[in-house]
Amino acid sequence: MTSPLQPPRWNVSNIFPGLDSQELSQAMTQANEQVQALAAMVQALPADPAQTPSATLAEATAQVIEKANATFELTGTIQAYLYAFVSTDSFNQQAMRLTSQFEKTQVAGQNAITQFALWVRALGERLEEIITLNPVLESHRFFLQETYRQSRYLMPPEMEALATELSLSGSNAWSKLQGTVTSQKTVEFELDGKVQTLPMPALINLHSHPDESVRRRAYEAELEAWKSIEAPLAAAMNGVKGWAITLNKRRGREDALHGAIDAARIDRDTLEAMLSAMADSFPTFRRYFKAKAARLGKEKLPWWDLFAPMGKTDRTYTFEDARSFILTNFSQFSPDLEAFARRAFDQSWIDAEQRPGKRGGAFCMAIPGVKESRVLCNFDGSLDQVSTIAHELGHAYHNECLFRAGKTILQSELPMTLAETASILCETIVVDAALNQAASPQEELSILETSLISDSQVIVDIYSRYLFEKEVFERREKAELSPEELCEIMERAQRATYGDGLDERYLHKYMWTWKPHYYFTDLSFYNFPYAFGLLFGVGLYAIYRQRGADFIPDYQNLLASTGEASAADLAKRFGIDIRQRSFWENSLAIIGERIERYIAIQ
């Protein structure tokens, strides 16, 4: 039981009563039966579409769509429920066992939808005609069109089935290894006069400690900790990336980036426009790093000072303080957003406590069966963590807009580029509010610091991670990479983006070990969508400030539609052309204004 003085743990008892409950057992059995029924339905689709009447094809396709939506709503709910335990307690063997057991059902579901995609490919030009014959298909037009477009990158049915089944002991196993090893690692660290056993997220959070000696010791302890487990993590990295390279070749992808761009629902021109605008902004960010170094009496920043707090503020936040601050400022944007966030707090949707066995970072996951979300973070009382909660609640609000609009599972498949829209906007609301309430220049400096740390991570550091992953893929194609080589690539990427803004002697060569996104088995290049989300969200917030309350309905409709259009088409609704550098430059200029204000404060 969490005490009133501790950040909360989430409550998932309304989903299922417990891991050993009859309800969960029955749901897992039902999910397996539904997946088998879906697979049988796909198998029974007309083998020769060219010789089958269009009306028959339309009816059969609609039946698969409806069955898939019902099946994936149930499997998605069970998966989220189990992950709620695995992500917060990797020592929970029962949760681990049930997750492993349920993965077989999920693999069968993935196989069924892959076989369906191959069948859709066989429809060819008749697909458009068939869609018009059935209202279920018409409402899933984008899903079907996207399925057809991406089906060209599928292997023959038996090879796709084999790849999916092998992923359990291949790429998924490597991903789980990374999560387990990093979440269970602890470090003995002297803090506040006593030696404490800290989980890695708590040690990482000391990057923002006000005492430089603590920051430096934490940085050194972190590097030493990651070095002690670098071998299994390098093996996991090689396993996941090698898996992706092999499948990309077999599926006819141009390169590892190809699938990521398609998954993001953008094109290479859009990515290049954004990346080139980001690269051109690096000198401005380096001015910020140098200004921060000067405030600390240094010429360049070592890594341990990158997240150092600046200015003076007496504000630290209890979790209740964070709750109040977020609700108050969400209400200024939209009473609906405030009411939703209040529900999330009141119904214990948030797991904020730091503890061993819990994964680092933060995320939000949808629970489709109960039309709710759950948010994980590692709260330490800082403004940064307050903005993190706001960010994740933005994801939850995005899910809420999809739920309210009655979108099905297949209508709600979000590209990461657009999945960050609501989260960035909510984070911006909180940071702007904190700046507006600053009681002195030094408090303004402190808040700007928090904001610019986040912005520089998403623009400068994310770009370094993009460069890192790009080189890892290129070199992994030739041979496995040692921990030393991975560290070398990471440091080179950081030097390329941070430049002379940081002290090259003290970078973070082990950043590759604990970022879970590198180990995603079904999504490479997780990184650039975060930059897209930041700059798109900042651009939308600027439009909101111009339009006021009239913006809200259009914004809610946008969130409800993000699974049914490309990023470019959705952006056009607000007069935004994401293929033009000017949009990205304008959003970066807003961040640049914050940097100039930061430098000017005395």
Rounded to the nearest integer, the mean pLDDT of the chain is: 94
Q: Dihedral (C-alpha) 382, 384, 385, 389: value to the nearest 10 degrees?
A: 140
Provide the percentage of residues in the chain whose pLDDT is more than 70: 99
DSSP one-letter string for 440-483: SHHHHHHHHHHHHHHHHIIIIIHHHHHHHHHHHHHHHTTS---H
Residue 7 carries which DSSP code?
P
Residue whose C-alpha is closest to residue 89's, from 351, 465, 309: 351
Question: For residue 72, what pLDDT is reported?
Answer: 98
With cut-offs at 50, 70 and 90, classify the pLDDT of residue 534. very high
pLDDT tens for each residue of 48-95: 998 999 999 999 999 999 999 999 999 999 999 999 999 999 999 999
pLDDT tens for each residue of 464-520: 999 999 999 999 999 999 999 999 999 999 999 999 999 999 999 999 999 888 998
What is the bridge-based pairing of β-strands 350-351 and 372-376?
parallel
Q: Which amino acid is at 214?
A: V
With cut-offs at 50, 70 and 90, classify the pLDDT of residue 3. very low
Who's near 231: CB < 8 A, 6+ residues apart? 483
**CA–CA separation, 81 and 87 (whole Å):** 10
Bridge partner list, 194: 191
Once rounded to an integer, what is the mean pLDDT over residues 127-151?
97
Question: For residue 450, what pLDDT is reported?
Answer: 87
Rounded to two decimals, what is the model's pTM? 0.85
Instruction: Count CA within 13 A, CB hemisphere, residue 130.
Output: 25
Question: For residue 1, what pLDDT is reported?
Answer: 39
Alpha carbon 12 to its chain centroid, in Å, reads 21
Q: Is 431 left (phi over 0), alpha (psi -120 to 50) or beta?
A: alpha
**CA–CA separation, 36 and 120 (whole Å):** 20
pLDDT tens for each residue of 339-395: 999 999 999 999 999 999 998 889 999 999 999 999 999 999 988 899 999 999 999
Backbone angles phi, psi at 470, to 5 degrees: -60, -45
pLDDT tens for each residue of 256-291: 999 999 999 999 999 999 999 999 999 999 999 999
pLDDT tens for each residue of 543-559: 998 999 999 999 999 99
